[in-house]
């Protein structure tokens, strides 16, 4: 087949990220992605000959990078610890508000659809969380070096949990609660 | 049809809870539940003429009660705040270990499969979280009354997040991290 439109890959990956955030693997079938992206089926198999698994993996890789950039911008900016964490959580809240609390973290959503057959995908999710933890660790100068792994892990854990709570209750408070508590423990 | 075996309802509900914990709504189809429970198809429709939605709703109602009892036993027992929270988290960890970290909170898992059509189910999830928060609030005498709603909400949020982290990494540390931090903030 001729090379498909050059923006088709980007549209497919973007649509996959949105669907993963909304409902995990079970919401991001090939046909769902085609419908949301408007990309022709041929272009999906052109860019992702491995089908859904390859497409999801590419989407998660881009998602990892985007969130890492967002965390880095918020946590690496000026201000004391509590304000930087609050800024990071506000970024998450704004995304959730923009979708009426219908989208949350893609890793949390994918994870819950994994069965034993998807070990490669679980490993990718693990590596994404580890990558984010590295980013956070590098922006926690207030925290003693020995405590940074714990602080980074707990911050990610709090963010994952708050997204679930916020999504169920359609209330951003669980995200807003994070910064004061985190700063109290680690500041 | 004749009345099916009296333990069939219990088996169906138990199997539904396990499948919800494992993979949310997308993992708990009628056929999945029949296969795991060993119950005859007729008995499922006898007890749940409304089909999957009614079965899931009954499973979530029982799940809410079981977890509330577990929270209540751990948090209402003797000991200072940090030890009681640690006891509660250990209960969650033991369940996760018993399934090789393949099951986590049913509410978190169901939520991520919801679309706009499932508003009744979202409301049930919200009411479950609210019910657990009430249980926790009643067992936080160390926390000033005005801060108890925040403390209860944040404890549930931390538990939801830690289950996701623990499940991705197959590592119980995120659950073990909760008690010291929670006690530092609210103790």
Q: How many domains does chain B have?
A: 1
pLDDT reading at B1 higher than 80: no
Q: Could you give the CA distance from residue A13 to residue A37 in angstroms, rounded to a whole number?
A: 8
CA distance B182 to chain A (A): 8
List pLDDT tens digits, range B103-157. Answer: 999 999 998 877 766 889 999 999 999 999 999 999 999 999 999 999 999 999 9
The answer to whether residue A2 is domain-embedded is no
The pLDDT of residue B3? 73
The answer to whether residue A106 is domain-embedded is yes
Among A155, A168, A187, the strongest candidate for a mutation testing the B interface, having the largest count of B CBs within 10 A, is A168
The pLDDT of residue B79? 97
The pLDDT of residue A118? 85
The pLDDT of residue A3? 73
The pLDDT of residue A154? 98
Average pLDDT, chain A: 94
Return the CATH number at B147. 1.10.357.10
Question: Across the interface, which of A22, A153, A165 has its CB nearest the CB of B177?
Answer: A153
Over pLDDT 90: what percentage of chain A? 88
CB contact under 8 Å between A174 and B153, yes or no, is: yes
The answer to whether residue A3 is domain-embedded is no
The answer to whether residue A134 is domain-embedded is yes
Q: What is the mean pLDDT of residues A77-90?
A: 97
List pLDDT tens digits, range A148-162. Answer: 999 999 999 999 999
The C-alpha R_g of chain A, in whole angstroms, comes to: 18
Q: What is the extent of the structural domain holding B174?
A: 8-186
Q: What is the mean pLDDT of residues B8-21?
A: 96
The answer to whether residue B1 is domain-embedded is no
> Which pLDDT band, with edges at 50, 70 and 90, does A116 fall under?
low
pLDDT reading at B8 higher than 80: yes
The pTM of the full predicted model, rounded to 2 decimals, is 0.95
CB contact under 8 Å between B112 and A156, yes or no, is: no
The answer to whether residue B13 is domain-embedded is yes
Question: Across the interface, which of A107, A111, A169 has its CB nearest the CB of B129?
Answer: A169
Question: Across the interface, which of A24, A111, A154 has its CB nearest the CB of B167?
Answer: A111
List pLDDT tens digits, range A49-61. Answer: 999 999 999 999 9
The answer to whether residue A154 is domain-embedded is yes
Task: Quote ipTM for the complex.
Answer: 0.94
Separation of CA B149 from chain center: 19
The answer to whether residue A165 is domain-embedded is yes
């Amino acid at each position: 087949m001729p090379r498909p439109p050059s923006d088709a890959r980007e549209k497919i990956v973007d649509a996959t990220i949105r669907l993963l955030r909304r409902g995990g693997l079970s919401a991001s079938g090939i046909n769902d992605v085609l419908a949301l992206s408007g990309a022709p089926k041929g272009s999906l198999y052109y860019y992702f000959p491995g089908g859904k698994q390859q497409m999801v993996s590419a989407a998660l890789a881009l998602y990892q990078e985007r969130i890492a950039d967002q965390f880095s911008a918020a946590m690496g900016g000026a201000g004391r610890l509590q304000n930087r964490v609050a800024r990071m959580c506000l970024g998450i809240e704004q995304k959730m508000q923009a979708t009426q609390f219908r989208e949350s973290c893609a890793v949390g959503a994918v994870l819950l659809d994994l069965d034993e057959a998807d070990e490669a995908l679980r490993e990718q999710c693990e590596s994404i969380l580890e990558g984010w933890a590295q980013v956070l660790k590098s922006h926690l100068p207030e925290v003693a070096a020995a405590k940074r792994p714990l602080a980074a892990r707990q911050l990610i854990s709090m963010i994952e949990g708050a997204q679930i709570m916020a999504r169920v209750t359609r209330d951003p408070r669980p995200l807003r609660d994070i910064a004061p508590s985190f700063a109290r423990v680690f500041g």
